[in-house]
Structure 1
Amino acid sequence: MTLLVSGLTACASEPKQPDVVVVPTPQATVTVTATATPEATNTVVATPSPLTTVVQTEPITDVLVITNANKQTLIDKPVQFTNVKVQSVVGDRTFWVGSSNAQRVFVVLAPNLDEGTVENKVVVKPGQTLDLAGVLKPVPSVKQAQQQWKGLSATEAQGLKEQIIYLQASQIRFKPS
């Protein structure tokens, strides 16, 4: 019994060490040390894998969804239109699609659809029916829009600011008339 009491007294007088120590490092490695007794120490090193959040969104398939929505919430959303009508052509790479002037979306062909030998094959005309796929992007400033999109007048560029977003089309398919 004396031995037990002296052992407990010795333990009580030693400085207490924590049972678990967590040390984060720049490499996102966490070291955990658990000390049960001075003779038995276990160390575990855990390196978590990077967290990736994947949000799957179905592409927007109707012009009305865009024209009736809070457009700020649609930035970077995918779009896939089938059988959409060209309302008017603004420039070499820019045009409007939709069912009317009140329900339409501004479209800009991605640069890869307007360079090299592809440029001669992609000729958009008013009244055509198209399939389009791409991503909704924020409209740039009036000055930037005129610099980026040849043929855009100051009035048209100013009108685009009110649209807030445009469709950057990465795929286009012409439908038979």
Structure 2
Amino acid sequence: MTADAVNLLGAANVQNLSAKGGKEALGRQVRVQSVPADEGFWVGTGEQDRLWVQLTDTGGESVYRVKPGDTIDFTGTVTKAAQGFAAKVGVTIAEGADQLTEQGFYLSVPAQNVKLSP
């Protein structure tokens, strides 16, 4: 996953992510770690090296059902998380709410921009 050719997983801290806020994020052959919310999920290489993806423009439900272990491609935007974002999207402490809040950013991805990698 990159924004401005910077690996976002390697930049998964507030300072580096905030520098990429509003930038286009590209994910190619990214592994889905877990799917704790209807329209949101964690992607990355593991529990400590991951970012939240929030699907948008779903019309209530996305067409493609993301599952843990899937490898996906997507295009979205690095987006600042508002206060209380984790609770709003249904992420509990056990599912990584503290990590999402600490990172302060997530990837906003239109549902039609998510494809299962070949």
Q: What's the TM-score bracket when you normalise by the shorter of the two chains?
A: 0.7 to 0.9
More strand by share: 2
Indicate yes or no: 2:68 matched with 1:131.
no
Q: For the aligned residues, what is the CA RMSD?
A: 2.3
Residue 121 of structure 1 aligns to a residue whose secondary structure is coil
Number of equivalenced pairs: 112
| 1:78 equivalenced with 2:19 (yes/no) | no
Distance change in 2, residues 1:140/1:120 (3 Å): closer
Which one has the largest radius of gyration? 1
Q: Give the corresponding residue for 1:167.
A: 107
Task: Report the structure, 1 or 2, having the larger helix content.
Answer: 1
Tell me how far apart the structure 1 counterparts of residues 54 and 48 of structure 2 sit (CA, whole Å): 19
Unaligned segments of structure 1, at least 5 residues: 1-57
What is the DSSP-based 3-state SS (H/G/I as helix, E as strand, rest coil) of the residue aligned with 2:9? helix
The answer for the alignment partner of 1:115 in structure 2 is 59
2:52 pairs with 1:146: no
TM-score by length of 2: 0.79
Counterpart amino acid of 2:7?
D
Which residue pairs with 1:48 in the alignment?
none
| Matched residue, 1:97 | 43
TM-score normalized with structure 1 length: 0.55
Deviation at 1:168, TM superposition (A): 0.3
Distance 2:35 2:72 in 1: 13
Q: Once the 2 structures are TM-superposed, how far is the Cα of residue 88 of structure 1 from its aligned partner?
A: 0.7
